Amino acid sequence: MNVAENTVVSFNYRTTADGAEVDSSTQRGGPLTVLVGHGGIIPGLEKALLGRAAGDRFEVSIPPAEAYGERRPGLAQRVPKKYFRNPAQLRPGMMTALQNRDGGRQMVVVTKVGSSVVDVDLNHPFAGRTLDFEIEVTDVREATPEERAHGHAHGPGGHEH
């Protein structure tokens, strides 16, 4: 079976930017499993997976427009330290998660740490960067009706974890 819209694909990956590793499935404990066609991964990677089958290995370079977009100036924000999980450990240049008003989390880059506030850049840490992926497709299967209705994969066998 080949990767297509509404299939579930599992794959191992290694991501580099400017020659340095920035993420990998081994760091995260195993293959990533996504429902194709529902925005679970960056558009360029989803397009690169289309038509692939289990066992395929390939490399792909994804420009910012198909990844996390270009960097946008003026997205700096000063945030009280209480909104960070471990504010005493923050240093300029670090990536960290910031709690949103709606309870979600957003990845930000710390630009300055003050006594009671932290200056952050709200651009995604990979905005403006070309990402290079090494991919190994480990499994492709039909999505279950429940997965299609929910818009995401429920694990390798299609069951909720």
Which CATH number is 83's domain given? 2.40.10.330
- Residue 156: its pLDDT value, please? 55
Residue 159 lies in a domain: no
Report whether pLDDT(160) > 50: no
Report whether pLDDT(14) > 70: yes
Residues 6+ apart with CB under 8 A from 106: 97, 98, 100, 122
Strands ordered across the beta sheet of 95-99: 76-80, 117-121, 105-113, 95-99
- Residue 82: its pLDDT value, please? 87
Give the model confidence (pLDDT) of 117-136 as tens digits: 999 999 988 999 999 999 99
Cα–Cα distance between 144 and 17 in angstroms, integer? 35
Cα–Cα distance between 54 and 35 in angstroms, integer? 15
- Per-residue pLDDT band at 105 (split at 50, 70, 90): confident
- Percent of the chain exceeding pLDDT 90 equals 73
Query: Residue 101's domain spans which residues?
Result: 76-121
- Per-residue pLDDT band at 157 (split at 50, 70, 90): very low
- Residue 84: its pLDDT value, please? 86
Closest CA to 74 of 107, 111, 116: 111
- Residue 16: its pLDDT value, please? 95
Residues 106 and 142 in one domain: no
Residue 157 lies in a domain: no
Cα–Cα distance between 137 and 65 in angstroms, integer? 24
Residues 115 and 131 in one domain: no
Residues 84 and 64 in one domain: no
- Residue 101: its pLDDT value, please? 76
**pTM (2 d.p.):** 0.78
Residues 30 and 54 in one domain: yes
Average pLDDT over residues 91-110: 85
Give the model confidence (pLDDT) of 38-55 as tens digits: 989 999 999 999 999 999
